[in-house]
Structure 1
Amino acid sequence: MIFQLDENELVFPHPSLADEDGLLAVGGDLRTERLLLAYENAIFPWYSEDTPILWYAPHDRFVLYPQRLKISKSMQQVLRSRKFRVSCDTAFDRVIQYCASVSRKDQDGTWIVDDMQQAYSKLHREGFAHSIEVWQGEELVGGLYGVQVGKVFCGESMFSLVSNASKVALIFLAQRFGLELIDCQIPSEHLERMGAETISQKEYLHILEQQENQPYAFQAAL
């Protein structure tokens, strides 16, 4: 059963009630309070221009424990080369725009529609959404963004304009911020090679229940 959300009522059904594909609810809005409630309960929006807002709560979750991060020898060489400079929260709007516009193999269009970009930019201004930027000289060539719930970073999307740039962003995120878990949402081979794995929704919810959600100044621990 897919639940219809009321814009005037700030509530979600339990994520365990999602259908086989993870679809839990439809409708509602993207105001800050609803988005934060969603992420605190392992729920996220994922839809396109021609659909209403769709809310997903997958029964299995693809995650990366930072301490289990695997860095290949070739990536270690890339990191040592210092060909990239990495920053955080200096170009959030540009990162989300690139994530929405950079074409990907086997993907038509984008789910990061204009309303999503505006909603997450507002989350960023309020201290809940953050970005990692990867630069080559003065050019932004890669990055990622997501929502932080305590020590859990819920990754939304990443992009690369040059080889390895998004991997550098992920490694920086995993190594520098004292995170307990990075939620990758959707399985991918390259993330699996970097150590990402699948856990149950129940296990993921248990981790989220231990978190204190508040605005964070997203600063790397040097």
Structure 2
Amino acid sequence: MYFLTDELIFPPVDSANVEGLLAVGGDLSPERLLLAYQSGIFPWFDNDSIILWWSPDPRMILYPDQIKISKSMRKVIRNEQFRLTRNTCFQEVLEYCSSVPREGQDGTWITDDMKNAYLELHEKGIAKSYEVWEGDTLVGGLYGVDLGNVFCGESMFSLTSNASKFAFIKLAEDLKAKEYKVIDCQLHTDHLESMGAQEISREEFMKFLN
């Protein structure tokens, strides 16, 4: 196991263990976070845990032009139930992502230090948010790190049915238009797979970053 120091460096991703755990410790500075994403690494840990850094193999990704939109979601989009904004209330999205309960998950890894780091990345134009509104009420959204040709999705929240799906679909449509290579979804979930995401090897994913 690699223990990080104050030096701004990560070990090679192929030294991660079978679960994808690469390193522990270090800090959550914006500089380290950005280096991590650029290197195919992301932080993920419990609120009371030491910082854990991951680079799993395989990696869950979505090609933006392969987003799957169900018949029910097409109806939601046609009916204009939701309204989308981008980067208008990043901090609110961050707060909701850290506080909205998720099935099978206790607590949050989005600590105060993590929030501050992502807010700094947002101020630099690197971390971005999508907000979903029902009338004047914020009901869903997502945020992630924009690397220019790869968007690293970090977290989504939904206060009403289909709101986070709507945000994800709109993200994929935007990135398709901008000819982004992939959306990094990090780890497999049935929900992401149902929307068109798939697993590729870490080696293949690293080619997109490099």
Counterpart mapping for 1:111-150 below 5 A:
111-150=109-148
In 2: Cα distance, 1:124 partner to 1:74 partner: 33
Q: Matched residue of 1:19: which SS?
A: coil
Q: Quote the RMSD (CA, aligned, Å).
A: 0.8
Aligned-residue offset at 1:51 = 1.5
Gaps of 5+ in 2: none
TM-score, normalised relative to structure 2: 0.96
Aligned-residue offset at 1:164 = 0.2
Q: Matched residue of 2:103: which SS?
A: coil
2:5 is matched with 6
2:98 is matched with 100
TM-score, normalised relative to structure 1: 0.91
Aligned-residue offset at 1:30 = 1.3
1:182 is matched with 183
| Number of corresponding residues | 207
In 1: Cα distance, 2:121 partner to 2:129 partner: 11
Which one of 23, 26, 43 corresponds to residue 24 of structure 2? 26
Runs ≥4 in structure 1, deviation > 4 angstroms? none
Match for 1:35: what amino acid? L
Q: Say whether the 8 Å CA contact 2:43–2:53 is kept in structure 1.
A: yes
Q: Matched residue of 2:27: which SS?
A: coil
2:197 is matched with 196
Aligned-residue offset at 1:32 = 1.6
Gaps of 5+ in 1: 210-222
Deviates more, 1:198-207 or 1:113-122: 113-122
Q: Matched residue of 1:58: which SS?
A: coil
Q: Matched residue of 1:111: which SS?
A: coil
2:170 is the alignment partner of 1:172: yes
Q: Matched residue of 2:74: which SS?
A: helix
Q: Matched residue of 1:163: which SS?
A: coil
In 1: Cα distance, 2:196 partner to 2:63 partner: 8
Q: Deviations over 1:60-91 (max 9, x none)?
A: 10010011111111110000111100011001
1:63 is matched with 61
Aligned-residue offset at 1:49 = 2.6
In 2: Cα distance, 1:71 partner to 1:151 partner: 23
In 2: Cα distance, 1:28 partner to 1:205 partner: 22
Q: Say whether the 8 Å CA contact 2:47–2:107 is kept in structure 1.
A: no
Q: Matched residue of 1:110: which SS?
A: coil
Q: Deviations over 1:79-123 (max 9, x none)?
A: 011110001100100001000100011111111111111111111
In 2: Cα distance, 1:141 partner to 1:116 partner: 23
Q: Say whether the 8 Å CA contact 2:83–2:133 is kept in structure 1.
A: yes
1:220 is matched with none
Q: Say whether the 8 Å CA contact 2:24–2:50 is kept in structure 1.
A: yes
Q: Say whether the 8 Å CA contact 2:62–2:183 is kept in structure 1.
A: yes
